[in-house]
Amino acid sequence: MTARDDLLIGVVGPCGAGKSTLIEGLKRHGYTARHIAQEHSYVPDMWQRLTNPDVLVFLQASYPVTCRRRNLTWTEAEYREQQRRLEHARQHADLYLETDNLSIQEVLQRVLSFLASRRGT
């Protein structure tokens, strides 16, 4: 068992922030990572109830970027509602990362660096 095997990483954020892409990248690097659909839950601490991760990563993206990335046709009010639902997770995140101006690889590298620094590797 590697040091990565026993670490559960939860990933939250609004639609289009890059959660699924990050999770795929973390899994390729041997991490166990799960998307927590907190943005769709009315229960503020659902992320803890469902997963209770060892590390919580919050990926943030602006409304215009989410629309562009996922070709979303949602309203800004719907985006703001997701932000409201994510507030508890945002406050408890171990890593908060704005993804608007980062490439997929840059997001992955920043998270991997953060995880390595937490584990002392």
Structure confidence by residue, pLDDT tens digits, 83-105 = 999 999 999 999 999 999 999 99
Question: How far apart are the C-alpha atoms of 18 and 59, rounded to whole Å?
Answer: 7
| pLDDT, position 2 | 47
The answer to whether 68 and 58 are in contact (CB under 8 A) is: no
Question: How far apart are the C-alpha atoms of 61 and 67, rounded to whole Å?
Answer: 10
Which portions of the chain are predicted below pLDDT 70? 1-5, 120-121
| pLDDT, position 1 | 35
| pLDDT, position 5 | 58
| pLDDT, position 49 | 77
